[in-house]
């Protein structure tokens, strides 16, 4: 199924992430800092066993995504995953807020808002990426 988000990356996004890469937070663990330098990617944060990075190219690089290869890097390009990185990343990098999609008049609330786990931001929604709304996509005729 096609994502309703289309392409969430832009030349502006590339510039913002490149700028942030040049000035990374000082409190990062040394290992994360070295992987970030190697991947030229912004550290976004960990989940249970892997660590997520956002590359200036708009790709999501995940360290240790494959449990059997903790040093391996898996790259994803699907728009929802990129969007999740942007939403999550705003906590640490407020400059990313300018890259979030802007809600239009035809957008609708995401159904995740009805669930406390999502509404309280304790789980990440794979439809809206945590924004709480979805753009309406009309089927092409
Ligand atoms: Zn949602």
pLDDT digit string, tens, across residues 8-56 = 899 999 999 999 999 888 889 999 999 999 999 999 999 888 999 999 9
CA of 114 to the centre of ligand 1 (A): 9
pLDDT value of residue 138: 63
CA of 43 to the centre of ligand 1 (A): 23
pLDDT value of residue 2: 64
Backbone region of residue 132 per phi and psi (left: phi > 0; alpha: psi in -120 to 50; beta: other values) = left
DSSP per-residue letters across 68-117: T-TT-EEEE--HHHHHHHHHHHTTT-GGGGGGSPPPPTT-EE-GGGGSHH
Residues, beta carbon < 5 Å, ion ligand 1: 110, 112, 125, 127-128
Residue positions counted in the chain: 141
**pTM of the prediction?**
0.89
On the question of pLDDT at 106 being above 80, the answer is: yes
Structure tokens at 103: 């809600």
CA of 26 to the centre of ligand 1 (A): 32
CA of 125 to the centre of ligand 1 (A): 5
Candidates 83, 66, 116; CA nearest to 13 is 83
Domain residues of the chain, as ranges?
11-100
């Amino acid at each position: 199924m096609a994502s309703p988000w289309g392409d969430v990356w832009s030349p502006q996004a590339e510039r913002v992430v490149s700028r942030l890469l040049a000035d990374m937070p000082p409190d990062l663990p040394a290992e994360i800092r070295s992987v970030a330098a190697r991947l030229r990617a912004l550290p976004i944060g960990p989940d249970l066993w892997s660590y997520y990075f956002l590359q200036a190219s708009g790709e999501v690089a995940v360290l240790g995504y494959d449990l059997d290869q903790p040093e391996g890097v898996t790259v994803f390009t699907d728009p929802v995953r990129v969007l999740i990185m942007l939403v999550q990343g705003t906590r640490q990098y407020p400059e990313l807020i300018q890259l979030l999609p802007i809600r239009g008049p035809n957008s609708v609330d995401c159904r995740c808002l009805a669930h406390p786990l999502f509404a309280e931001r304790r789980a990440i929604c794979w439809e809206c990426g945590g924004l709480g709304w979805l753009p309406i996509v009309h089927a092409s005729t």
